[in-house]
Copies of this chain bind each other. A is one copy, B any other.
């Protein structure tokens, strides 16, 4: 069924508005009325296009999860040299989350309040591709750097923690910076973090299991 112009436009407007509201408020606190208002249309049109709040949310969630997931995992799929990759990772990802600061907390919060949704949609992805990609491209480098083969998930989680956590806890970090005399703002802090995190990780893996 091909959609005509006006239909496409309205559906698109609703979808954009829904992404904004859900990401900002979370599922439970989001209001259909607010989504309608932001889309500049009538509330009942939401149901016309997406049937229910649940279904609208599901489409939005899947879209945002993929956006986040591909970003987070992307770097591990590249096959540049390790250190270059790490530096690039922290640059790119921090920049990305500066554009999407609510994305991490949205994804993590919704998933912990409803794990079924995650399993339903993303339970059947072939994650071995990622593993093989990481291990295939980098197994050699990793052991060279002293990361044990069985520790690759620990390593991945460690790398992404350093960027995702500060965004997820943005308000706490901001308060902390304010109250301890950091003169610049959160954005500057995260810009500095691009370098700090890179050096931290590179220094760590250079000397793992080699004391």
Number of residues of chain A lying within 8 A (CB) of chain B: 63
Protomer copies: 2
| Stretch of A11-19, A55-63, A155-163 that contacts chain B | A155-163
Apart from A125-B179, A126-B179, A161-B162, list 11 A-B contacts with CB within 8 A. Answer: A26-B113, A105-B112, A109-B109, A128-B179, A130-B180, A153-B176, A154-B192, A158-B200, A164-B169, A165-B165, A203-B203
5 interchain residue pairs of minimum CB distance:
A28-B28, A204-B204, A28-B29, A161-B165, A127-B179
User: Would you mind naming 29 contact pairs between A and B with Cβ atoms under 8 Å apart?
Assistant: A25-B28, A26-B28, A27-B29, A28-B29, A102-B112, A105-B108, A108-B168, A108-B172, A111-B171, A111-B172, A112-B170, A118-B171, A118-B175, A119-B175, A122-B175, A123-B179, A127-B176, A127-B180, A128-B179, A131-B180, A153-B180, A153-B182, A153-B189, A160-B165, A161-B162, A161-B165, A199-B209, A200-B208, A204-B204
